[in-house]
Amino acid sequence: MKTMTPAEARAKIREGAITCPTTGMCPGYAQGNLVVLPKELAWDFLLFCQRNPKACPLLEVADAGSRTFAQFGAGSDIARDIPKYRIYENGVLTRETTDVSEYFDDPSRQLVSFLIGCSFSFESDLLEAGVPVRQIEEGVNVPMYNTNIPCQSAGVFSGNMVVSMRPIPHALVPAAVAITAQMPRVHGMPVHIGCPEAIGITDIAHPDYGDAVTIREGETPVFWPCGVTPQAVVMHSRPPFVITHAPGHMFITDVPNAVLKL
């Protein structure tokens, strides 16, 4: 799976030959979060992302009803190229499935698909520069926390930023900032360094999403805007119908991470 092109990987996923999380697949290529909303909510959501680009870095928005991300995945099928999807109705998870064609095919729905950047992209740059990424070392999901940092609201969507946390050795914190600052299309630089209480995190050992990781002596917790923010904000408004990817089961794009720096 390390040597497949993104188009080959998406084809394997489409035919059902890959159903696992996409972590580590097609190294060097960006992967993205998926949010699919009915057209009547799409304007507010697009505006929310435009106003909160660090938490919600939009890579691409498909035409209403379209099943292809033409720029980031030529020939892709949004309804089948992700290994696992989640369906939410009125804010409640009602189904997990590997194929959401039936929802796109339903003429009563005009679905709009949003592809949102993911920190997988900057983590490979951190590792290449010798900055450790703890949750990868420990084989768990990144720890994520609700904060008191308000997002700019847009229409029905409002809420606080969700952040991901990586413990960084003191001497490498400036490098971690500089490296991620180069990639604003995948969350960019940290939003906060040290002192979790200052952004409303009272118990660093118990993340609100994902898994706890070890913070060693001589390390600072560093917090980045997180792609869970748009999902959390969408669910908070209890929309009638939403499709997302299942955690870790991302859309693999044709775009190299390096291109996202431009």
Task: Kindly tell me which residue out of 8, 63, 102, 197 binds its own copies, with binding defined by CB under 8 A.
Answer: 63
Query: Per rule CB under 8 A, is residue 61 in the interface with its own copies?
Result: yes
Q: Which two tokens stand for residue 13?
A: 């996923």
Which of 21, 132, 169, 184 is close enough to bind its own copies by CB under 8 A? 184
256 touches its own copies by CB under 8 A: no
Q: Which is nearer to its own copies, 30 or 42 (CB)?
A: 42
Measured CA to CA, the distance from residue 25 to residue 2 in angstroms comes to 6
**Pairwise CA distance, residues 143 & 138, whole Å:** 12
DSSP 196: G
Structure tokens at 220: 């600072």
CB of 6 to its own copies, least distance (A): 19
Token duo for residue 133:
């990424």
Q: Name the phi and psi angles at 180, rounded to 5.
A: -75, -25
Binding piece for its own copies, criterion CB under 8 A, among 55-63, 77-85, 86-94, 198-206:
55-63
- Asked if residue 58 lies in contact with residue 49, where contact means CB atoms within 8 angstroms, the answer is yes
Pick 63 or 96: Cβ nearer its own copies:
63
CB of 47 to its own copies, least distance (A): 6
Chain positions 65 to 104 lying near its own copies, rule: CB under 8 A, are 70-71
Q: Is 189 in the site for its own copies (CB under 8 A)?
A: yes
Q: How many helices (H) and strands (E) does the chain have?
A: 7, 11
Within a 10 A sphere around the Cβ of 127, how many other Cβ atoms?
13
Quick note: the x/- pattern for its own copies over 113-152, rule CB under 8 A, is ---------------------------------------x
- The number of beta carbons lying within 10 Å of the beta carbon of residue 181 is 12
Other C-beta atoms closer than 10 Å to the C-beta of 195 total 11
Report, in Å, the least distance between residue 262 CB and its own copies: 7
Candidate list 60, 77, 81, 254; residue touching its own copies; CB under 8 A: 60
Nearest to 177, CA basis, from 165, 191, 163: 191
Interface with its own copies (CB under 8 A): 42-43, 46-47, 50-51, 58, 60-61, 63, 70-71, 152, 154-155, 181, 184, 188-189, 262
